Amino acid sequence: MSDFKRKAKSLKNCQKKLNQQLESIYQDIDLDVTFEELSEKLIFLMRLDKTCHAPVAAQNKWSEQDVILITYADSLLEADKKPLVTLHHFIDKYLGKSINSVHILPFFPYSSDDGFSVIDYSSVNESFGDWKDIQAIAKDRRLMSDLVINHCSSRSAWFQNFIKGEGVGHDFFYTASPDDDLSKVVRPRTSALLNEIQTGKGLQHVWCTFSHDQVDFDFRNPVVLENFVTIIRQYLDMGVRIFRLDAVAFLWKKAASECINLPETHTIIRLLRTLIEHAQPDAIIITETNIPNVQNLTYFGNANEAHAIYNFALPPLLVHTLVSGDCKHLKRWLMSMPPAQNGTCYFNFIASHDGIGLRPVEGLLSDQELNRLAVTLEGFGGKTSWRTTDQGQQKPYEINIALYDALQGTTEGEDKLGFYRFICAHSIMLGLEGIPGIYIHSLLGTRNDYEKLENTQHNRAINRHRWDYNTLKEKLSGHPDHHKNVLSELKHLINIRIKQKAFHPNATQFTLHLREQLFGFWRQSQDRAQSIFCISNVSKNTLDLSLSELNLIITESWYELITGAKIAPGQETVSLLPYQTLWISNLDMDI
């Protein structure tokens, strides 16, 4: 088949799929255009009429070599340097080939929420740098960017036109009446849902899921969708290859419903995937849906929605495991997680710019266990943020704390094993099925930023420190302190991980049944050539492990990858120090 015919066939299939998706989304809405006309417009905006690729089903667009750094554009500050330039320098100098991808949190002009209240989607915040700086990073690393798709800033030109009642954006925002039945609406905030605004068209009550500075879009208007397709096309042109759909679960609203996880939201994700896959074969979508675990899993769809989903239950379960010394909940959860189909994967993380979310473990941890976890972490300087349930109750939504501080002790109080507990958390995460993401402040062992918390009065600021780059360089090059030690140890683990085929995000995984103080799972490469037993001591006591518990073939040689030790044929036991992890492989790391 000629390239022309192949492109024509791909374009025809794409439009057919778009027509079906658009009909599903807008079937109950009177539109001024037909579905065919709208799909043609989307194809034009994505430039698929010029280049249209045929997606390959069930294709894994990742490997064991993929590790993502999560960072703000201005996490590192240097006099007379643009933060994006400084960030690029840090990545090249200190991370090298260890980390091949970077998620730069919203780098656009914004008015609040450290970037998640976007004023202008089409430009880079001048205080960070410009598109050339973004492209320079994208040239060296796989670039992940947020698509803040649920809401934008009340200071945006679009919303100002809404207030005026004319111009682009005047009909982009969701409004409701205070008389509507909003009793079932699920939200992560305690502020009023509707914000009363006087506009050129009269008094309007604007829907604000998160804050009154973050006004929700109305995707019932297909022009909103068209504008976001234009934004996606621009980001692809600038080098973005991973799209993080921020707060996407709240996208579609209906009166008298929970206004979360609605069918139209899922279909819009499928539509965006259709467009992105036909435009850029190596680009992927990750959905950010901080919701209970069972609901979160639905964003895989039938391997036709998100390529990857955030494993939101992992951070609270892993922290709970390490501060309680009991892995039964973590083990039970891992056993219940379905293997990701080829073409999909989990995105694993244990710290981020937000706090440790608690909603994903509702039903996994009891209220008593959640409260004890919150009290324990508050003892290490953490803050608890709250949400309002549909019954009007106040429940803890997330715990805001730097991960290094969160693991400085147990339910019995602070101790001297925090460093080892912290490294143990990452060694578990790095071994699990999925792509790992590591927050820059975890990579650096950054502590709670109480000054920023006091200045902003926002709980999440406690884990959003901005480093003076020269100060950081001194800490990383001088006498060893915990910042230098953390970076060195995490790079050591990462450099081992990226050489192991058994750590491919879709490699086989089975949970091991060991003692409650020993958390273990087994990974096997897709070609079955390599097996790795990942065993972690989650207690503060030294524990012996009988190798017969792992069913190792004791007549063969095995290798402990982290220490480089060889397990000799016939060896019966190994000892694990407090919070030590073993990666026991039938192949050594250089094979």
**Domain CATH code at residue 561:** 2.60.40.1180
Q: What is the pLDDT of residues 403-422, one digit of tens each?
A: 999 999 999 999 999 999 99
Q: Does 286 have pLDDT greater than 80?
A: yes
Give the three-class secondary structure for 581: strand
The Cα diameter of the chain in Å comes to: 82
Tell me the CATH number at 195. Answer: 3.90.400.10
Q: Output Rg (C-alpha) for the chain, integer angstroms.
A: 24
Q: Based on the number of CB atoms within 10 Å of its own CB, is 544 exposed (0-12), middle (13-18) or buried (19 or more)?
A: exposed
Q: Exactly one of 246, 326, 405, 449 is catalytic; which is it?
A: 246
Q: What is the pLDDT of residue 1?
A: 60
Q: Residue 93 has what DSSP assignment?
A: I
What is the count of structural domains for the chain? Answer: 2
pTM of the model: 0.96
In whole angstroms, what is the distance from residue 106 CA to residue 231 CA?
14
What is the C-alpha separation between 346 and 506, in angstroms, rounded?
A: 9
Sign of the Cα torsion 41, 42, 43, 44 reads: positive
Query: Given a cut of 80, is residue 192 above it in pLDDT?
Result: yes
The distance in angstroms from the start CA to the end CA of the chain is: 41
Domain range enclosing 553: 508-585
Gap between the Cα atoms of 453 and 462, Å rounded: 5
Residue finishing a domain among 172, 200, 216: 216
Q: Distance (Å, rounded) from C-alpha 78 to C-alpha 471?
A: 10
584: number of Cβ within 10 Å: 23
Helix H or strand E segment including 536: strand 531-537
In the predicted structure, residue 64 carries a pLDDT above the cut 60: yes
The predicted structure's pLDDT at residue 390: 64
Q: Which tens digits make up the pLDDT trace of 232-242?
A: 999 999 999 99
Q: In this structure, is residue 185 part of a structural domain?
A: yes
CB 589 within 8 A of CB 559: yes
Q: Which two tokens stand for residue 41?
A: 């417009």
pLDDT band at 4 (very low <50, low <70, confident <90, very high): confident
Give the pLDDT of residue 107. 98
Pairing of strands 435-439, 68-71: parallel
Distance CA 281, CA 14 (A): 13
pLDDT value at 557 more than 90: no
Domain boundary residue among 216, 240, 260?
216
Strand partners, 383: 400
Per residue in 306-360, pLDDT (tens digit) is 999 999 999 999 999 999 999 999 999 999 999 999 999 999 999 999 989 998 8
Q: What is the DSSP letter of 63?
A: -
Cα separation, 399 vs 215, in Å, equals 25
Q: How far apart (Å, rounded) are the C-alpha atoms in residues 364 and 506?
A: 24
Binding site for substrate: residue ranges?
A: 113, 151, 244-246, 353-354, 460
pLDDT at 252: 98
- pLDDT at residue number 135: 98
- Would 16 be classed as within a structural domain? no
- The β-bridge partners of 576 are 543
Inside any domain, residue 312: no
Task: Please name the residues in contact with 585: beta carbons below 8 A apart, sequence gap of 6 or more.
Answer: 500, 502, 530, 531, 532, 533, 558, 559, 560, 561
Chain-centre distance of CA 378, in angstroms? 24
In this prediction, residue 292 has a pLDDT band, given cuts at 50, 70 and 90, of: confident
Residue 327 lies in a domain: no
Give the separation between CA 451 and CA 82, rounded to whole angstroms. Answer: 23
Mean pLDDT, range 102-121, rounded to an integer = 97
Looking at 27-82, list the stretches that DSSP marks H as alpha helix, in order from N- to C-terminal side.
35-45
The overall average pLDDT reported for the chain is 95
Relative to beta strand 214-216, strand 151-153 is antiparallel
Alpha helices in 439-531 (DSSP H): 440-443, 450-456, 469-477, 482-497
C-alpha angle 43/45/46, rounded to 5°? 65
**pLDDT for 270 beyond 60:** yes
The answer to whether 476 and 484 have CB atoms below 8 angstroms apart is yes
Q: Are 124 and 104 in contact (CB under 8 A)?
A: no
Average pLDDT estimate for 8-17: 94
Q: What is the mean pLDDT of residues 15-37?
A: 96
Residue-level pLDDT at 389? 66
C-alpha span between 473 and 468 (Å, rounded): 9
Residue 373 pLDDT > 60, yes or no? yes
Q: CA geometry: angle at 429 spanning 428 and 430, to 5°? A: 95
**Phi, psi for residue 225 in degrees, rounded to 5:** -60, -45
Which structure tokens are listed for 415? 């101790």
Residues in the chain: 591
Residues marked as binding? Answer: 113, 151, 244-246, 353-354, 460
pLDDT of residue 554: 65
Question: How does strand 565-567 pair with strand 558-560?
Answer: antiparallel
pLDDT at 591 over 60: no
**Phi-psi category of 320—alpha, beta or left, where left has phi over 0 and alpha has psi -120 to 50?**
alpha
3-state secondary structure (DSSP) of residue 136: helix
CA distances from 523 to 266, 307, 501, 512, 533 (A): 31, 21, 9, 10, 6
User: Is a pLDDT exceeding 90 seen at residue 395?
Assistant: no
- 569 CB-near residues (< 8 Å, 6+ apart): 554, 555, 556, 557
* 190 vs 175, higher pLDDT: 175
- Beta strand 409-410 with 413-414 is antiparallel
Is the residue at 256 inside a domain? no
Does 246 participate in catalysis according to the annotation? yes
In this predicted structure, the answer to whether residue 196 has a pLDDT above a threshold of 80 is: yes
Say if residue 377's pLDDT is above 80.
yes
Cβ neighbours of residue 398 closer than 8 Å, sequence gap 6 or more: 354, 355, 356, 357, 358, 359, 384, 385
- Comparing 38-47, 342-351, 563-572, the range with the smallest average pLDDT is 563-572
**540 belongs to a structural domain:** yes
pLDDT at 555: 62
pLDDT at position 568: 82
Residue 166 in any domain: the answer is yes
The predicted model gives 190-209 an average pLDDT of 94
pLDDT in tens, 428-487: 999 999 999 999 999 999 999 999 999 999 999 999 999 999 999 999 998 888 999 999
d(CA 361, CA 315): 10
Q: Which of 198, 216, 234 represents a domain boundary (last residue)?
A: 216
Residue 516 counted as domain residue: yes
Q: What percent of the chain has pLDDT over 90?
A: 88
Mean pLDDT on 125-141? 98
The residue to which tokens 């509702």 are assigned? 362
Instruction: Provide the angle, in degrees to the nearest 10, between the axes of the packed helices 35-45 and 222-237.
Output: 20
Cα dist from 504 to 57, 95, 497, 507, 508, whole Å: 18, 20, 9, 5, 9
